[in-house]
Amino acid sequence: MFAKILIANRGEIACRVMRTARRLAIRTVAVHSEADRDALHVAEADEAYAIGPAPARESYLNIERLIAAAKASGAEAIHPGYGFLSENADFAEACAAAGLVFIGPPPAAIRAMGSKSAAKALMGRAGVPLVPGYHGAEQGEVQLAAEAAAIGYPVLIKASAGGGGKGMRIVEREADFAAALAAAKREARSAFGDDTVLIEKYLTRPRHIEMQVFADARGQCIHLFERDCSVQRRHQKVVEEAPAPGMDPERRRAMGAAAVAAARAVGYVGAGTVEFIAEGGQFFFMEMNTRLQVEHPVTEMVTGIDLVEWQLRIAAGEPLPLRQDEVAISGHAIEARIYAEDPARDFLPATGRLQHLRAPAESAEIRVETGVRAGDAIGIHYDPMIAKLVAHGVDRAAALRRLQAALAAYEVMGLATNLDFLARLAAHPDFAAGAVDTGFIARHRAILCGPPPPASEDVLAAAALALLLDEAAAARAEAARSADPYSPWHRRDGWRLNGDTYQDLAFAEGEARRAVRVHYGREAYRLEIGGRSIAARAERSPDGSLRLDLDGVRSNLRVLRQGGAFCVLKAGRTYTLRHIDPLAPRDVAEAASGQLAAPMSGRIIQVFAAAGNAVRRGQPLLVIEAMKMEHTISAPADGIVERIGYAVGDLVEEGAELLALAPHDAAAKEAAGGGGDRP
Ligand code: ADP
């Protein structure tokens, strides 16, 4: 076994690999970009090397720097994690040339599977079933359109060099083919420097089922069963589980055999995943990922095998630790990926600082894989995943219950996350029934991504009480510092010389304004909320939770606060309420403005509107390319475009004003105003 390894990656996967290395008494070397100088994976490594500026191209993708760091540190092997250089055959070769072991398959196997088109051709020859489609070399538009027509619409255009859903377009009708092809090629060229595409029949209600395979250098190859990764948004996984709901032993055997055949056909060594798309009773090969998958923990939870340990052993020349008949599935595991992204805005990645972060407690049945701590930033340079939350149970229902409880206990403040979305998904009856396919999220979008139900009275009461407790604590602290600590002027309990006294608090909840009238009693508050009167008491418990007594009913709620923003966590939901401070009326002014800000830094690649155009709510206005993905900016309301600040090719910073939109009625009035006093 190795004495020291370098991890050519960052974030949760770097931390994950180090955990196993530590357990095996292998020393670890981290690498980091300038942006990651203080990152968790750097802190957790035995030593760390700086490899360049923040953009991945100049750091985590810089082969020479990585090899130099490995040589300088005396590491014997490099673990590439996933993403970055994990499926780069040149990197694997560069490692070998430098006398370092690449912890992954041989370069030839990476190359064979690196092109989706070439891999499909190879798999077809090996007898593995394929989705009907075209994966030839002829790439002219006319030929591709003819192939699409022959396959029959709807079709899916995919970048042959693709990954991460980039360069992928569904085309419903022949009329849309040319535009979709151009967009797919543009995205593929920018992300992979190669715009070769393939075309497949688009299956309308398929499941994504993949098989984990493992091979050693002595010719043995086994599979570690399947993972169901059907729950996807933008064709990217968010929830994965093992085993696949409804999988029967016969089908598992057939898929396992096909996956092993695929691995053998390319002389595979190490950990790999063969992805299939399944519909009806059939399954078809999609691609093989020649690395560890993001979702590998669900397999670990049901097999009890540490996949990273197996990777290390096999790379060190050891045989597979177990035979096919020695591995078995125990119970069920589900993983939810927690991302900085906004489900209400088509899952647009979010950036910002994790002002508050508290993960649920880990146990034998709950795993939290993360690469960030409170205070860290999620930036534009890397993947916006915050953590993976994995729950295990004796069966699917037990695992799901645990996942729901853990999601409810996950606290993040400071940026948009998909936590609420995941909680709604985990609570959806169709998900509980295992009725999953790749269209699940799109089909249930209104329920999963729609605005949350308005906060109930007790949630509002909790926010108001948290505010009052904080004010009282601040007043006590101020009094203690002052010359006259008992002066009535320090009191924050609404005490007045005479009469019933009350204070009106207001919170903004989305667009709505919610009012709370607080009456100050001797022992308790009386709160008036939406016509209801509640006798209320509250105190902070040592862990920061709020102990509430509302009309004699006691509860314990988490109420988080950042400035004027309050997050109340209740029954798996997060309610965000912003205290409207009467002394700071700016909030309201901002909400009313018609400016459209860039949701993230990127480059403008298309502009569909011009100043003076009337546009309808939802109409696409601009396309920004960021993180090598295209994001369409649509009109938030009907209106008239007043001005557009950018042209195609311009770079924009997050928050920059892209265009100004005047509401229809204001614009109409202005136009009418020119006519003077007409009767
Ligand atoms: P990438 O490598 O970019 O992630 P994949 O080929 O792995 O792309 O496909 C990603 C997802 O797209 C799949 O999990 C599946 O949901 C969907 N998909 C791929 N091919 C098809 C198809 N032929 N029909 C329907 N959906 C598909």
Residues 289, 333: one domain?
yes
Residues 31, 142: one domain?
no
- Compute φ and ψ for 589, nearest 5 degrees: -60, -40
Residues 347-404: tens digit of each pLDDT: 988 888 998 999 999 999 999 999 999 999 998 889 999 999 999 999 999 999 999 9
Where among 201, 216, 233 does a domain terminate? 201
pLDDT above 90 (res 12): yes
Of ligand 1's atoms, which has the minimum distance to the CA of residue 162?
3
Residues 327, 476: one domain?
no
Residues 194, 224: one domain?
no
Residue nearest (by alpha carbon) to ligand 1 atom 22: 202
User: CA–CA separation, 90 vs 226, rounded Å?
Assistant: 30
The answer to the question of residue 553 being in a domain is yes
List, chain by chain if needed, residues with CB within 6 Å of any ligand 1 atom. 131, 156, 158, 162-165, 168, 200-203, 206, 208, 232, 235, 275, 277, 286-287, 438
Identify the top-confidence range among 263-277, 474-488, 639-653: 263-277
Q: For residue 605, what pLDDT band results from cuts at 50, 70 and 90?
A: confident
User: CA–CA separation, 558 vs 547, rounded Å?
Assistant: 9
Residues 19, 67: one domain?
yes
The answer to the question of residue 117 being in a domain is no
User: Ligand 1 test: best mutation among 131, 157, 286, 294, most atoms within 8 Å of CB?
Assistant: 286
Residue nearest (by alpha carbon) to ligand 1 atom 11: 235
The answer to the question of residue 636 being in a domain is yes
- CA 207 to centroid of ligand 1, rounded, Å: 10
Residues 428, 401: one domain?
yes
5, containing H or E segment:
strand 4-7
The answer to the question of residue 52 being in a domain is yes
Residues 509-550: tens digit of each pLDDT: 988 999 999 998 888 899 999 999 999 999 998 888 999 999
Residues 474, 530: one domain?
yes
Residue nearest (by alpha carbon) to ligand 1 atom 17: 235
CATH of the domain at 551: 3.30.700
CATH of the domain at 667: 2.40.50.100
Domain of residue 188 covers 132-201
User: Ligand 1 test: best mutation among 86, 187, 438, 630, most atoms within 8 Å of CB?
Assistant: 438
User: CA–CA separation, 677 vs 529, rounded Å?
Assistant: 47
Of ligand 1's atoms, which has the minimum distance to the CA of residue 168?
3
Contact 167, 158 (CB under 8 A): yes
Q: Is 496 a catalytic residue?
A: no
Residues 461, 417: one domain?
no
- CA 317 to centroid of ligand 1, rounded, Å: 34
Task: Tell me what the mean pLDDT of segment 408-421 comes to.
Answer: 93
User: CA–CA separation, 538 vs 518, rounded Å?
Assistant: 13
Residues 74, 154: one domain?
no
CATH of the domain at 187: 3.30.1490.20
pLDDT above 70 (res 493): no
Where among 407, 427, 449 does a domain terminate? 449
Residue nearest (by alpha carbon) to ligand 1 atom 12: 235
Provide the terminal-to-terminal Cα distance of the chain, rounded to the nearest Å.
92
Task: Find residue 664's DSSP bridge partners.
Answer: none
Residues 86-143: tens digit of each pLDDT: 999 999 999 999 999 999 999 999 999 999 999 999 999 988 999 999 999 999 999 9
Residues 267, 383: one domain?
yes
Listed in sequence order, the residues at least 6 apart from 197 whose beta carbon sits closer than 8 Å to its beta carbon are 139, 144, 157, 158, 159, 160, 167, 181, 184, 185, 188
- CA 150 to centroid of ligand 1, rounded, Å: 20
- Which residue among 227, 291, 396, 558 is the active-site one? 291
Residues 325, 253: one domain?
yes
Residue nearest (by alpha carbon) to ligand 1 atom 6: 286
- Cite the DSSP H helix spans in 304-395: 307-315
The answer to the question of residue 659 being in a domain is yes
* pLDDT score at 208: 98
Size (the chain), residues: 679
- CA 585 to centroid of ligand 1, rounded, Å: 48
Where among 182, 201, 220 does a domain terminate? 201
The answer to the question of residue 118 being in a domain is no
pLDDT above 90 (res 606): no
Give the total number of structural domains in the chain: 5
- CA 176 to centroid of ligand 1, rounded, Å: 20
Residues 473, 571: one domain?
yes
* pLDDT score at 679: 35
- CA 412 to centroid of ligand 1, rounded, Å: 30
Task: Find residue 509's DSSP bridge partners.
Answer: 512
* pLDDT score at 59: 97
